[in-house]
Structure 1
Amino acid sequence: MRMTVIGCGHLGATHAASMAEIGHEVVSVDIDESKIAILRSGRSWFHEPELDEMLARHVASGRLRFTTDFAEAGEFGEMHFLGVATPSMRGRDDYDLSQVFSAVRSLAPYLRRPCVIVGKSTVPVGTTEAAQALVRELAPAGDGVDVAWNPEFLREGHAVRDTLRPDRIVVGVTSTRVEERIREAYRPITDAGVPMLVTDPATCELVKGAANTFLSMKISFINAMSDVCEAAGADVTQLADALGLDPRIGRAFLDAGIGYGGGCLPKDTRAFAARARELGVDHAVDLLTAVDRINVSRRERVVEMTRKACGGDITGRRIGVWGAAFKVGTDDVRDSPALDVAARFHALGATVMIYDPMAVENARAIHPELGYADDALTAAAEADVLVTMTAWPEFRAIDPNAVAEVVNRRVMIDARNAVEVPDWHDADWTLHRLGC
């Protein structure tokens, strides 16, 4: 199939390369010429495992092209995927859909024959209907252009696998004609055993937000239990292990710590609550507001633990920070709890030195006032407190005796339960953990 992908961010670039991988001819469009130039060279402008290899392979073969020309895209594609960003609105919790509708306005005037526009972005209920009305108004092909929705379920660090081997594909359509075309597009994936669930557009639009808010709720639940464990003298990790053995609950997302961040869970939880408020579903708003409040409180909890470890005041103290990315496996620092807490340390008068194996440059771009190191030991050098805030495997593998030789005090706040506790205790470290 000849298809286009509008938007060359984490979602769009990965989807474009993956569609080429399963045999389609793909043209991907973005208005950012610098991103297009990098992608044309066969590599990505962000870190994502396996993606560069796939980009290089299909750019070289000619199956995948990148352009800034919407006319080229409109003339080329039988199916057009929308993979643009839907960030939170400035000063509000709602999704900012300006990029979605801008993409539709830019593409629609060049749609002169029947085709399908398939939205991938995370959006509120009613977006498919609004996009369809706009297309009918602007596209020369008129009623021949259908709009459907097909939300992504990508995890950063696993985006290629989640596109080519997802646990499910969900599609919201209004006709069997559109359903058949989308089934054709995904046939190599569904033939491999991936289930496709076809719904109405409203249900489909709710699925992604509901999935992410459920994950957020699970994380906030175990973090609330973490506080209970601390008060009761219990161990939240053992509690989570016991809960996780119940097949109705499962162990995933039951890791207590500094809370969730990134470009999806915080945004989607708040936006879902905002839409529920508009719909008058107050009990859903109450639940999701509590989830968000618990999550945000974890950051201040780590600050308080660090302040207490310094005798009540961190002014003038040197704090080593291990981790800046919002999670392991990515260089993404959007709404990163680690980076936010590091900035709070700095605002309270501490000297902060950060190390992250992938995210240092992205962190520096947002918080140039903080210090950055090229390795874990340099970040820990002369530290009064060492705080682990992203659970990179190298932090678990590091020798606590080697770290002890460079710090001022053997005190660690393990905000991600990321290190081997017995090893650090054996090396005479004072180790503080959330939920223990």
Structure 2
Amino acid sequence: MTNRRDFLGLSGSLLLSACATTPSMTDTPPIVFVHGNGDTAALWQTTIWRFESNGWPRERLHAIDLPYPLARDDDGRPQPGRTSSAEHMAFLKSEVEKVLQATGARQVVLVANSRGGYAVRNYIQNGGGDRTVSHAILGGVPNHGVWHEMAGMNAGSEFAGAGPFLRALNAPKNANGDEVTGPVKWLTIRSDGNDKYAQPDGLWIGKRGVPTGVTFAGPELKGATNVVIPRVDHRETSFSPAAFEATWRFITGQPPRTLAIVPEERIVLSGKVGDQNLPLPGARLDIFATDPASGERRGGAVHAQVIGADGRWGPFQAQPGMPYEFVITAPGYATTHVYRSAFPRSSNVIHMRPQRIAEADRSAPSLVILDRPRGYFDPGRDRMAFDGQTPPPGALPGAGVSSSRIRPAGPSRAVVGEFNGERVVGRSWPLAEGHVAVLELTY
């Protein structure tokens, strides 16, 4: 029988955290984190920090990058720059094998968000993962589709609940009708009703007022432990503190000591510069320390690097408490200025993706983007402002928008983005000279 546990808040977890202990090496299998459609390994940054803050060894936490991370419109038809479900599964299988070889472990834990959960389920059911995976945690995975059957929506898509891919994954596995493959332990995490891809109405897929045939409970699976977290959005089903708490508890059987990210004294950063999770060799990355109040640079570049064939940059030792501007220069892209708040811990998944200038923006004096990669903006739930505008332009009721754009006129000036206590200060740059600014939220 499906086991559902509702989380009504974090207070109980925090009260229990004093009882938790740091896991030993024998209790810490390698964890492989699998991102969602169009995303990167970078989205797992804060989740990895929370695992580390609770004693999980850094070398046993692996976030992977699927090249061409967008799904095909029709899974059975080749499409340039897109991956099929079979290609996605094959890539995951290869990455798991690398992790097992590098660590000497017998099994891994797989933690996935959104489309990443399809690859996890496919690998466990059809690729031998039933032997190499101990636990599978699926956050916000549209396990019964983003839509069931709808006119104008491709029936061959991975996301079609009545399509061949999901029908095969969801076929009963035993007399109980379980949808999950044993002996793997399964956990799903979903929102109570705020996930844009688990909606009875087609609003977020361009079909307002049309029934999708999917319910808020679409991410649940019969035979899994199914957790509901109130008000979280599609990405927060994986990247929020509450999702981390549920994940840690499911893997270890204990509450975490803390949901906070514990600061480090020595902070070393690295990552990739790329597009579609492919390297951009020859691109240049320059890093500047910035003034927290104005976004102005504090002197010259503190790190400068031409990107090699592997796309990697770093290592760079950051100062605790210091915000930074990352400038990516690559042929065919805008010179992209990414502003980040101070980093509390080291990370090797600080990925930089340069922007392209859309035709609709080319006549603007400047373009500044406020981006929240690990969640969405919800005016009914969040405290936020962008350049003094509350809510940020484009933010709509219900958590379905993750970025906001403004086009400031006049000379370069400070632009402030705020979200639930995090504050990022950047500068506007002249768009006519090919510059775009991004204020990237961490939390």
If asked which structure has higher relative contact order (CA below 8 Å, sep 6+), I would say 2
**What is the TM-score of this pair, normalised by structure 1?**
0.30
**TM superposition score normalised by structure 2:** 0.29
User: Which has more strand, going by share of residues?
Assistant: 2
Higher helix share: 1
